[in-house]
Structure formats: structure tokens, C-alpha cells
Amino acid sequence: MADKKRYAVAASGSWTDGEDGRRLPAGEVHAWEQGMNQTVCGLSLHRSRLARLSHIAWTDTFPESGGAADRVRRVCPRCASVAGRRGPDARPRWQRVNPRP
């Protein structure tokens, strides 16, 4: 069985929560695999000046998750298609129903 990848967050900005002092994403967010120097959609982290937020899970950046999405303005659609987007606007995963022989 294939291991499910865990994606962290790279964001165009960050802010600090006053209650617990954690850095949270702001602006545009991208999925990022730790150990890589680029996002899932292919943007260079350094050249795009994206902040790495390795302590934030990718699924927490969606507004419906209630997680760290307070100041997220845009979720990269290319990263969402690769890393997964589970929410009210997500289409069901593709599935072959009646394959030809």
C-alpha cells in the first residue's frame, strides 16, 4: 500500500497569533513537501519568497477546516489538485465505472 504524503504549507506571508504565539499562513498558500526546495506546483520557495510553515498541515489551510485559515486569501488550485482538497466545492475523485476489455 502506498504511503500517503504529508504536505506542509508555504505561504506568501505569515502572521503571529496573539493567543498561542504560533506563526500562521497569510495571503496565498501552496502545498510543500519537506525536504524539497519547491512547492508541489513547481514554484521555487526562495525565488517566490514563500515562507515555509512546516508545523502547519496542508488540510488546515482550507476555510472550512477551522484551522489556520483566518488570513488565507487564496489556495493555489494546482497544489490543491495534487495534494487534495476536501471541502464543499471538491469534486469526487475520478473513478472508472465500466472499463472496456
Tens digit of each residue's pLDDT (9 = 90 or more) over 17-62: 888 888 999 999 999 998 889 999 999 999 999 999 999 888 888 8
Q: Coil, strand, or helix at residue 81?
A: helix
DSSP 78: H
* This prediction's pTM: 0.77
Position 29 scores a pLDDT of 92
Position 6 scores a pLDDT of 84
Position 46 scores a pLDDT of 93
Side-chain half-sphere of 12: how many Cα atoms within 13 Å? Answer: 11
